[in-house]
Amino acid sequence: MRFNGLALVAGAMAIVACSGGDKNAQQTTTTTDSAAAPATTTTATTTGTSSAAMAPITGKTVEVKMIGDGTTYKFDPANVTIKQGDGIKWVMVSGGPHNVAFVDTPAPAQAQLSANMPNQMKELTSPMMMTPNETYTVSFANVPAGTYNYHCEPHAAMGMKGSITVQ
């Protein structure tokens, strides 16, 4: 009987230890002015030691289609040139699931690009889009000029890759 009691206690401790929850990369701070002003909330996404706040699209939004037909998987258009402040809206057309995962992103751009990507599945990776006409939009406001390569994780080996050049 003593062994069963120890096993029960050990099992309960393991469950408690494992149920700590997921520590998110988002940090929320609330500040209040002492003169009874309303509280303000700021959300920033933290990447390493730097953080950036989400910057809204201030220019045009370019649409990129996500297409798969069983033999060909592609972004259409695959290569896009935009200005800083523009946005990209990916539209799942067929052959899903699809997502957008930025690869080899320059370190100075990672924090801002990450902050501009809502509901990330993991760092610099959009959630999966499962149904036709589902969309995902990313702002390139405050993102440094340069080329940003990305792919669809489920279909990268099939050549579903693209790049965005920010001027």
108 pLDDT band, cuts 50/70/90, is very high
| Overall average pLDDT of the 66-89 stretch | 97
Output the average pLDDT for the chain.
79
Containing structural domain, residue 79 = 61-166
Structural domains counted in the chain:
1
14 lies in a domain?
no
150 neighbors 161 (Cβ within 8 angstroms): yes
Domain harbouring 144, CATH code = 2.60.40.420
Q: Please check the confidence at residue 80 and state whether its pLDDT lies above 80.
A: yes
Tell me the per-residue pLDDT of 21-58, one tens digit each, with 9 for 90 and over.
Answer: 443 333 333 333 333 333 322 333 333 334 799 999 99
44 lies in a domain?
no
Predicted confidence at residue 13, as pLDDT, reads 37
Q: Which residue has the higher pLDDT, 12 or 92?
A: 92
The pTM is what? Answer: 0.70
95 lies in a domain?
yes
Predicted confidence at residue 51, as pLDDT, reads 75
